[in-house]
Amino acid sequence: MKIISYNVNGIRAALNKGFIEWLVAANPDVICLQEIKANKEQLDLSLFDNAGYPYHYWFSATKKGYSGVAVLSKTRPIKVVYGTGIEAMDNEGRNLRIDFEEVSIMSLYLPSGTNDDRLDFKLNYMAQFQGYINKLKREISNLIICGDYNICHTEIDIHNPIQNKNTSGFLPVERNWLGNFIDSGFTDSFRHLNKEPHHYTWWSYRANARNNNKGWRIDYNMVSNYMKDRIKRAYILPEAKHSDHCPIVVEIE
């Protein structure tokens, strides 16, 4: 099974940049999208049907043009779960899960902490999300959580760790949380197979950051440790440029 995660920074903008043609060429079994910034009523859903993804699920934020996640699948899941049941989280449309017989896949969009109020919201969200996942793992052992975590885990995951040490997304409290999240039973699939530096998934639009590869690795396909031995490939697709993020891929046996 080939699974892609992609923060598209607006699905309508991505569609205008050739997203469908890219999706057909990439040919994942499942793709998790984040920051769709749209309601499904604003989209021509036949585009996804015709691309080979007749099973598509959308979970938008209450606030229009903001946040939101989606999952597109070639095959019908046995269950779809919108949100977490925690109102503060679900109002922003940040979690959507589809279950198959042998694997469950979640699209996750963790908040950014761009100012003090949002940092507090992010930290609270992270704590609640960890509690939610701790309970979910008792029910589902084969869980893959794909998405934009808005956190660089270690210094190798960011182009300038010293300069960014006090920047949200690389704060010690955020990095510690992500480390503890991994330790709670997940494998960072990309780092599991790729130990080299200079691999990023997000670049600022400023200062020609992408062309200079001055980026951050904040998108992850986290695979339950129960499935660790089934990870066959994990890689990043920086050449896909529909967004300020790029897609990340994990292939599971």
> Which single residue is written with the structure tokens 């950014």?
112
Q: pLDDT by residue (tens digit) across 72-84?
A: 999 999 999 999 9
Question: pLDDT tens, 232-247?
Answer: 999 999 999 999 999 9
Q: pLDDT value at position 109?
A: 98
CA distance 99 to 68: 19
Q: What is the pLDDT of residue 117?
A: 84
pLDDT at 48: 98
Task: Kindly give, in sequence order, each residue whose CB lies less than 8 Å from that of residue 240, ignoring residues fewer than 6 positions away.
Answer: 6, 22, 26, 246, 247
The residue type found at 135 is K
Residue-level pLDDT at 225: 98
Instruction: Return the pLDDT at 200.
Output: 98
> Environment class of residue 87 by beta-carbon count within 10 Å: exposed (0-12), middle (13-18) or buried (19+)?
exposed
- Structural domains in the chain (count): 1
pLDDT tens-place string over residues 88-109: 889 999 999 999 999 999 999 9
State the pLDDT at residue 147: 98
Predicted confidence at residue 156, as pLDDT, reads 98
Which tokens is 176 given? 């510690």
In this structure, are residues 143 and 104 in contact, taking their beta carbons and an 8 Å threshold?
yes
* CATH number where 159 lies: 3.60.10.10
Q: Which residues are catalytic?
A: 148
Q: The whole model's pTM is what?
A: 0.97
Range of the domain at 246: 2-252
* CA-only gyration radius of the chain, Å: 17
What tens digit of pLDDT does each residue of 25-46 get?
999 999 999 999 999 999 999 9
Residue 91: other Cβ atoms inside 10 A: 13
Q: Residue-wise pLDDT tens for the chain (253 aa)?
A: 999 999 999 999 999 999 999 999 999 999 999 999 999 999 999 999 999 999 999 999 999 999 999 999 999 999 999 999 999 889 999 999 999 999 999 999 999 998 778 999 999 999 999 999 999 999 999 999 999 999 999 999 999 999 999 999 999 999 999 999 999 999 999 999 999 999 999 999 999 999 999 999 999 999 999 999 999 999 999 999 999 999 999 999 9
